[in-house]
Structure 1
Amino acid sequence: MVSSSPTCVDLFAGCGGLSLGLKQAGFQIKLAVEKSEMAAETYYHNLIRPIQDADEWRNYYENRNLEDQAESGLVVRELSDVLRSKAILSRLRESEIDVVAGGPPCQGFSSAGNRNPSDERNKLPWQFLEFIEKVKPKIVIIENVAGMQFDFLKHGTKSPFEDLWTALSATDPGYQVQPMVLNAKHFGVPQHRPRVFLVGLREDLVGKYSLGITAKIWDSSIDSPQVAVLGDRPLLAPKRTHFDNNRNEVGPGYFTVKDAISDLMTENYSETSSLSEFAREMREDTSYLKAVVFDPQANKRPNNHVFRQHSDLVMERFSLYQFLRDANIHRSVLAIPKKTGLSEHAQRKLLHAAIANVKYPAKDGNGSILANAQPTLMHLIRKLATKKHSQRALFWGRPAPTVVSMPDDFVHPVQPRIPTVRELARFQSFPDAFEFRSKETTGAHRRRFQVPQYSQVGNAVPPRLAFALGYHLREVMEMLQQKQGLTRKPDVA
């Protein structure tokens, strides 16, 4: 039995994936901070109050002052603005916040020497740590991309991950820090999404107890039911719940692309008697959301499920990607006709070698014939040639690859189109009642300062991963309270 109503602050909150997961784990989100009014609009609509019209939202983020926004639970400003508010910081400190969580951009972070004060990537982690120092939460959660731990290794210097780890440990009042790599697919999310976490426990709570916090990076990929028996899982690491059943692991198997989106083949819900466990939960989960009540029986069209329009040539290329996936031919074959410095004879030789083992007819993901013989397939590859390597057709039977902010990196498993916002949100484990706001996508030159729906989804922490970590940390806090006889102040109404 876990203790009731622990409190949390979510910094760099985005559209609210981390907050939603923590709310589902029983946390009260006392404050969220997000500078983008586009991502904040989605957060507000789902987790604060349903937005009835655009003027209402515009008035909130443009005209309400900082302290009023904080009272409502969402500040649409830079974190630096919050750090200048003595009233907000004093209220949070008096509330004895249990957890402060967030994912500050850390690629340019350095805790020692040669810090560029004009580099925003450097400022934000320091602002995060300054907030920790002023509020002094019991637990700190920092989340970032898994590659951050390796970024500087090729240069023989510390990674930003190591620097932040060191800096958090030394932040007053001092934290014992457990580094982790957690993959979302290990916690019931239909997506291969490894992320690094630093979870810090305040020194005074550790006291004299040996709590199994280690300097070694814990990776959820090595977790198993046997680990709990052996006692090797660190105290602050959540227990893995889903496994690769192809390896005969004990426990539920990974959720797949098919589990996630096979009921979304049209712009309305598909009528199916074989709805997957995951899809059913996504349809039915309306808990902890403030938005207008969502009923999948009445709402035949899911939120944010709009098929994007593609040219005939692009759709033909998408169908070819599906064939290449099934034929186990790398998609870079489409770049061969674009290679400069190669004669036509050399190009033909490379193409012939790449498709030498194809069995005809060549079909797309839906079973339509693309080519009956090698010359036709060679012609099709030349016709649809592209230098773009990032696009790939999804596999029905696997978890999705890591969802990113670029909507056109993925091709639907059987239809010649990119996934909708809702389909990518399913890969992230957002329930269908969670409605993404603002524009759907934006031009490349505006992505530096705009956060449309596709980017909101790609940047988010999967709610189910946040739930797994949050629920586990609640249990840790209860254990500490039992050990040390700690008592919480009553919540202020």
Structure 2
Amino acid sequence: MPDRVTYIDLFAGCGGLSLGLEQAGFDLRFAVEKSAMAAETFYHNFIQRIGPDGDASYAKHLSLPIEQQASEGLVVSPLLEVLKAEGLLEELREDGVDLVAGGPPCQGFSLAGRRNPKDERNQLAWQFLEFVEAVSPKAVMIENVAGMRQDFRKHGSEAAFGQLHQALEKIGSGYCVQPMLINAMHFGAAQHRPRVMLVGLRSDVSQEVGAKASGKLWRSTFADAAPIENSQPFLAPVPNTQAGKVKTVKDAIADLSATWSGKRRSSYATEMATDRSWIPEGTRSSVAKLGPIANHNKRTHSERVELRFRLYQCLWDQGVSAELLTYGFQARTEGGTVGGLDQSIEELIRFPLIAPDGVVLAESPSQAAEIFRELATKKHSQRALSWDKPSPTVLSIPDDFVHPAEPRTMTVRELARFQSFPDAFEFRGKETTGGLKRRTEVPQYTQVGNAVPPKLALAVGMRLKQILSASSERMEKANREAA
């Protein structure tokens, strides 16, 4: 097998995609990330550990020219600036790059957009493709949210995903491209996270290994599900999780909860707590000596908010929708029992109403009705998580999920566990931000929510590593025979 299979990660964020590729056996050539906040996390985990009091090395790195940053493994700059570094691009093309991967924002992508410089919606996707065209890697991986595959038929245009697929097929000497709709929970993550992905092989490589695309969207499923239609496409990753063994919230974070009794961790939690395989050998021992688990600062809330969270937990446990609080809002603002609040409570809720931490909320429907009126709200974006199911898709806003057993929202580390980040992967910068700063800052919660789940990247990376290694072996054999 070849000694080194290289990759470049564009729009790298904190490094979830890179982490999975590293675990699959790829070697980082360099990553590109424009946010200095997200890039600091990448630098800390893949380039050089930053001390608890900060480290001048990262500040020095930021001051370097793009070519020097690339030589150290991380370019902190917009991709457009990298495209201007013609010497770097020429060097990459001459040396050869095995994989260019990333998740460029693509929701507004249009084949016509390249001819319209005023169309800012798809600049970044075109920049990604321009980089691919300039470097001509053997393989390409593009990841994005599942919604981008939907057609905008009312506007008379095809989905961004389909147009991006067409563009990738024609870039450079052409690519054999497999479109996929894949879910992180099918590949070992404790999270229901559907994503679309395009995986492409350069035409000469695809011919070398006999690769073919199925011609239609492949949907991942559990490993023990009955094969569907054309079965597994050549470029698709192999699911490794059976339906009855899907990783759950309990598997991921029970050992981090105040209610944990100290019993043996789940195999998933043990892996998250102990995995350091991706860390350079020279620094593994120092990482192992770190103190308390990083990024696990439990958030504090007012008594009123904690009471609402306990109510969410109780309603979720009994299978009752939190929208029942809307009736309380109407009753409080309009008077009376609009919407039948009292009757609904009596019909739907079992009493006494006791929160997971033992706090008794109500012993009768009338007491519950008072709480509903007190806590009533029109907003229902928050939800209590279930111990026995995978987490819903982790987002960048920390207030969406309520802990299953404690009256609080989730920590950065708990969400990172759902995403399948090992505990030794530390997130840098401020935890969260708000207001207009959301447009420019990428704090820890956003870094986690925007990341590709490492286990998903690992599965795709393993398949590509097999294909690229087989291609290199065939070429080496052919060269030996020709000599």
Counterparts of 2:336 and 2:96 in 1: how far apart (Å)?
72
Q: Map 1:342-357; keep pairs closer than 5 Å.
A: 343-345=334-336, 347-350=338-341, 352-353=343-344, 356-357=347-348
Q: Could you list the per-position Cα deviations for residues 81-126 of structure 1 after superposition, in whole angstroms to 9, with x for gaps in the alignment? A: 0000012112211221010000000111111269753444310000
Q: Which residue of 2 aligns with 1:46?
A: 45
Q: Which residue of 2 aligns with 1:211?
A: 211
Q: Which residue of 1 aligns with 2:309?
A: 318
Q: Which residue of 2 aligns with 1:328?
A: 319
Name the CA shift for 1:445/1:73 in 2 (closer, same or farther; >3 Å). same
Instruction: Report the 3-state secondary structure (helix = DSSP H, G, I; strand = E; otherwise coil) of the residue aligned with 1:207.
Output: helix
Q: Which residue of 2 aligns with 1:262?
A: 254
Counterparts of 2:342 and 2:464 in 1: how far apart (Å)?
54
Q: Which residue of 2 aligns with 1:240?
A: 239
Give yes or no for the alignment of 1:279 onto 2:245. Answer: no
Counterparts of 1:132 and 1:114 in 2: how far apart (Å)?
15
Q: CA contact under 8 A between 1:175 and 1:200: conserved in structure 2?
A: yes
Let me know the Cα RMSD of the aligned residues: 2.6
Give yes or no for the alignment of 1:133 onto 2:133. Answer: yes
Q: CA contact under 8 A between 2:311 and 2:355: conserved in structure 1?
A: yes
Counterparts of 1:439 and 1:66 in 2: how far apart (Å)?
26
CA shift at 1:304, angstroms? 0.6
Q: Which residue of 1 aligns with 2:182?
A: 182
User: Which moved further from structure 2: 373-382 or 10-19?
Assistant: 373-382
Q: Which residue of 2 aligns with 1:306?
A: 297
Q: CA contact under 8 A between 1:146 and 1:195: conserved in structure 2?
A: yes
CA shift at 1:478, angstroms? 2.8
Aligned positions, number = 477
Give yes or no for the alignment of 1:11 onto 2:10. Answer: yes
Q: CA contact under 8 A between 1:10 and 1:31: conserved in structure 2?
A: yes
Name the CA shift for 1:361/1:61 in 2 (closer, same or farther; >3 Å). same
Name the CA shift for 1:221/1:115 in 2 (closer, same or farther; >3 Å). farther
Name the CA shift for 1:478/1:293 in 2 (closer, same or farther; >3 Å). closer
Q: TM-score, normalised by structure 2?
A: 0.92
Q: Which residue of 2 aligns with 1:56?
A: 56
Residue of 426, 433, 446 corresponding to 1:435: 426
Q: Which residue of 2 aligns with 1:491?
A: none
Q: Which residue of 2 aligns with 1:248?
A: none
Q: CA contact under 8 A between 2:109 and 2:163: conserved in structure 1?
A: yes
Instruction: Report the 3-state secondary structure (helix = DSSP H, G, I; strand = E; otherwise coil) of the residue aligned with 2:112.
Output: coil
Q: CA contact under 8 A between 1:108 and 1:119: conserved in structure 2?
A: no
Name the CA shift for 1:196/1:292 in 2 (closer, same or farther; >3 Å). same
Name the CA shift for 1:485/1:71 in 2 (closer, same or farther; >3 Å). closer
Q: CA contact under 8 A between 2:223 and 2:243: conserved in structure 1?
A: no
AA at the equivalent of 1:387: K
Identity in percent: 48
Give yes or no for the alignment of 1:359 onto 2:347. Answer: no
Counterparts of 1:204 and 1:135 in 2: how far apart (Å)?
15
Counterparts of 1:309 and 1:342 in 2: how far apart (Å)?
29
Instruction: Report the 3-state secondary structure (helix = DSSP H, G, I; strand = E; otherwise coil) of the residue aligned with 2:298.
Output: coil
Counterparts of 1:236 and 1:75 in 2: how far apart (Å)?
29
Q: CA contact under 8 A between 1:12 and 1:102: conserved in structure 2?
A: yes
Q: Could you list the per-position Cα deviations for residues 8-31 of structure 1 after superposition, in whole angstroms to 9, with x for gaps in the alignment? A: 000000000110110111101101
Structure holding more helix per residue: 2
Q: Which residue of 2 aligns with 1:448?
A: 439
Instruction: Report the 3-state secondary structure (helix = DSSP H, G, I; strand = E; otherwise coil) of the residue aligned with 1:436.
Output: coil
Q: Which residue of 2 aligns with 1:250?
A: none
Q: CA contact under 8 A between 2:331 and 2:341: conserved in structure 1?
A: no
AA at the equivalent of 2:367: T
Q: Which residue of 1 aligns with 2:377?
A: 386
Instruction: Report the 3-state secondary structure (helix = DSSP H, G, I; strand = E; otherwise coil) of the residue aligned with 1:302.
Output: coil
AA at the equivalent of 1:306: N
Q: Which residue of 2 aligns with 1:472?
A: 463
CA shift at 1:337, angstroms? 3.2
CA shift at 1:354, angstroms? 5.6
Instruction: Report the 3-state secondary structure (helix = DSSP H, G, I; strand = E; otherwise coil) of the residue aligned with 1:234.
Output: coil
Residue of 392, 405, 414 corresponding to 2:396: 405
Instruction: Report the 3-state secondary structure (helix = DSSP H, G, I; strand = E; otherwise coil) of the residue aligned with 2:180.
Output: strand
- Unmatched 5+ residue regions in structure 2? none
- Unmatched 5+ residue regions in structure 1? 246-252, 489-493
